[in-house]
Amino acid sequence: MIATKSDRMMTAFSWGFITLFAAFCLIPFLLMVSGSLTDEQILINEGYSLLPKGLNFEAYRILLQSGALLRSYGITLFITATGTVLGLLVSASLAYSIANRRNRLRHAISFYVYFTMLFNGGMVPFYILISNWLKLSDTLAALILPLAVQPFLVFLMVSFFRTVPEELEEAGRIDGAGEVRIFIQLVLPISKPILATVGLFYALIYWNDWFMGILFLSEENKFPLQMILRRMVSNLEAAKNLIPSGAGIALQAPTYQIRMATTLVTIGPIVLLYPVLQRYFVKGLTIGSVKG
Amino acid sequence: MGGKTWMRGIGRYPFLYLLALPGVLFVFLFSYVPMYGILIAFKEFNIRKGVLGSPWVGFSNFEFFFTTDKLLLVLRNTVFLNLLFIAATTCCAVLLALLLNEIRVKWFKRTAQSLIFLPYFMSWVVIGMLVQSFLGGMHPTVDGWLESLGIAPLNWYYEAHLWPWILTLIRVWQGAGYMSIIFLAAVTSFPDEIYEAARIDGASRFQMMRRITVPLLVPTISILTILAIGKIFNGDFAMIYAIVGDNSMLYPTTDVIDTYVFRSMRVLNDFGMAAAVGLFQSVMGFIFVVAVNALVKRYSQDSALF
């Protein structure tokens, strides 16, 4: 086929625009990486640049010895792991129950969950519930429990479970399997893709959350990574809290450099897992776009 | 369905109902119990006395709605920012999807998609850190770029009128790639026969895009837009607070209902007033979502939420 002039222009424009937008998306990350490796004085005087000037690894050297950062990393990992497992268990069970035709309450339960997407009590009653009634302030439970059932993810799973052929369950029943065995041994194994998708959604929610932290945490030794970052944004000096006392740092701590290095360390797992994340997210989005 | 058969249904498959129980309890505790707390909006709330023990004050928590123009300001900011976000993100996402669809070189398309999707996975705190690093400090990095273009540098954190646009740009950076993937999924589902027929008739690629792809994409675009408009009273607390924080210089243009409620509660300790604003927002949001859904339903049954 002969490409006309108009078609060639179209292609050129597509390449040009997409390249520019992709660069726009990428540049902040490059500045961050380069900033974490740039000498502190240059950062202060000249700002961030795409290639590190005065290359040094001072910030990473400090962070590696930082007990505070390590503890915070552990807390985030714990919250993410516990939250993902809990969220997945509770949501998958709920979704399977809603999707099952033999559940006579399925419409009622479905509306009960759905209504919370339309109307909520607002921030104030929620805060009072967690801090005054449940007394969960300054506990990690306050960062895990409230996020464990995400209605959107529940319905994502419901639409998947609805596609599970009834014959499968019927066959199981004929073979004498009870409801428990049908769910655990027949339905769950063929649901691995959706469980992976929803699990990653939950992991991302927990890894990136800081709202629960800012509402309910005041003790620094319980801060997850996002809260450490958040404090650095609101207070420039906060970066110094990560410096171990025996690190032999003079008064001139590389604050700006540490801020960038901490940010990079925080997003590290997401970037490393990104190929997997991306694939499952796109899958989840296309399942989700079937309904709702 | 009689009450008896209904009970028998539960009796026959107790496990199905047991499975739903933990989820139902979680939703009850964290979503329905706070609805009871709405009463705080009508009380002079005192933490020691609790919700029931605090005295009723009728609508006096709502009085400030009329005595100051504070609420009007945050309401206006919330709606205006959301409209900017919706318009800018949707336009960019559609354009990205259309142009990505034109690219036939696999590796380039895949790499570009990965790059524009990446910002969506960043937390708002991380984004807030980046914004502060590039716009803040003694010599903001962005000012350096502006200077090399011959534009006078700015003290960004003092220029409130610029921030709706800065926030919009950040929003596009974070969300347009994600949204473009939804559109691209729709575009790839369009039947090939139409394009084949157009090609035989001698249509150029641009003509096919304008006359076939865009019209076919309109339902998806309008549904996503309408759904977004349903949430127009919900300020994005996580985004705004992570980026603007307690920077009061920027409140005139960036303070939204959610950040205002948060501050009233945590800083001023005015729980009654904060609850009143929160209730107003919940009710407005509810009315809007339901109205918007009715609209979608009339337009296309399949796309309605309920």
CATH 3.40.50.720 fits domain A68-288: no
Q: How far is A244 from A63, CA to CA, in rounded Å? A: 9
Instruction: Label residue A108 by pLDDT band (50, 70, 90).
Output: very high
Is A246 exposed, middle or buried (CB count within 10 Å of its CB: 0-12, 13-18, 19+)? exposed
pLDDT at A121 over 60: yes
- The Cα B166–Cα B85 span in angstroms is 11
* Partner-chain contact B35 A105, CB within 8 Å: no
pLDDT of residue B10: 62
How many CB pairs below 8 Å do chains A and B form together? Answer: 287
Amino acid at B156: W
Do B285 and B234 meet the contact criterion of CB atoms below 8 Å apart?
Answer: yes
The pLDDT of residue B2 is 47
Helices (H), ranges, chain B: 3-12, 14-27, 33-36, 50-53, 64-67, 70-102, 106-117, 124-135, 141-148, 163-188, 192-200, 205-208, 214-230, 237-243, 251-254, 257-266, 271-299
> Quick one: which of B143, B161, B131 has its CA closest to B241?
B131
CATH of B68-269, one of 1.10.3720.10, 3.30.70.3270, 2.70.150.10, 2.60.120.260: 1.10.3720.10
Chain A residues whose beta carbon lies within 8 Å of the beta carbon of residue B29: 129
Rounded Cα distance, B256 and B91, in Å: 24
Under the banding of pLDDT at 50, 70 and 90, the label for residue A290 is: very low
Q: Counting beta carbons within 10 angstroms of the beta carbon of residue A220, is it exposed (0 to 12), middle (13 to 18) or buried (19 or more)?
A: middle
Asked if residues B301 and B63 have their Cβ atoms less than 8 Å apart, the reply is: no
pLDDT in tens, B154-179: 888 888 999 999 999 999 999 999 99
List phi, psi (to 5°) of A224.
-75, 170
pLDDT of residue A65 exceeding 80? yes
Contacts of B233 by beta carbon, 8 Å cutoff, 6+ apart: B75, B78, B79, B257, B281, B284, B285, B288
Higher pLDDT among residues B223 and A215, named by residue = A215
Check residue B302 and give its pLDDT: 60
pLDDT score for A243: 76
pLDDT range class, residue B116, cuts 50, 70, 90: very high
φ, ψ at B43 (rounded to 5°)? -130, 160
Asked if the model's pLDDT at residue A13 lies above 60, the reply is yes
Q: Could you read off the pLDDT of B280-306 as tens digits, one per residue?
A: 888 988 898 888 878 877 776 665 656
Distance CA B230, CA B100 (A): 29
Instruction: Tell me if B206 and A10 make a contact (CB, 8 A cut-off).
Output: yes
Write down the pLDDT at residue A291: 40
Of the residues A14, A17, A93, A226, the best mutation for testing chain B's interface (the one with the most B CB atoms within 10 Å of its CB) is: A14
Nearest to B125 among A129, A183, A210 (CB): A210
Distance from CA of A64 to the nearest CA of B (A): 20
Among A48, A91, A263, select the one facing B23 at the smallest CB separation: A91
- In this predicted structure, the answer to whether residue A63 has a pLDDT above a threshold of 70 is yes
Contact B265 A121 (CB under 8 A): no
* Domain boundaries, given as residue ranges, for chain A: 17-56, 68-288
**Chain-chain contact of A123 with B274 (C-beta, under 8 angstroms):** yes
Half-sphere exposure of A234 (CA within 13 A, CB side): 14
8 Å CB contact between B166 and B154: no
Q: Is the pLDDT of residue A292 over 60?
A: no
> pLDDT for B9-32, tens place per residue?
566 778 889 999 999 999 999 999
Q: Where are the domains of chain B?
A: 68-269
Predicted local distance difference test score (pLDDT) of residue A179: 81
The per-residue pLDDT for A213 is: 93
**Mean local confidence (pLDDT), B3-10:** 57
Query: Mean pLDDT over residues A60-86, rounded?
Result: 93
Q: Which residues of chain B neighbour A4 with C-beta distances below 8 Å?
A: 204
Question: Given A91, A180, A292, which is nearest B305 (Cβ)?
Answer: A292
Question: What confidence tier does B61 reach under pLDDT thresholds 50, 70, 90?
Answer: confident
Cα B107 to Cα B100, B110, B111, B178, B230, distances in angstroms: 12, 5, 6, 19, 38
H helix and E strand count, chain A: 16, 0
DSSP assignments along A223-247, one per residue: --HHHHHHHHHH-GGGGGGGS-GGG
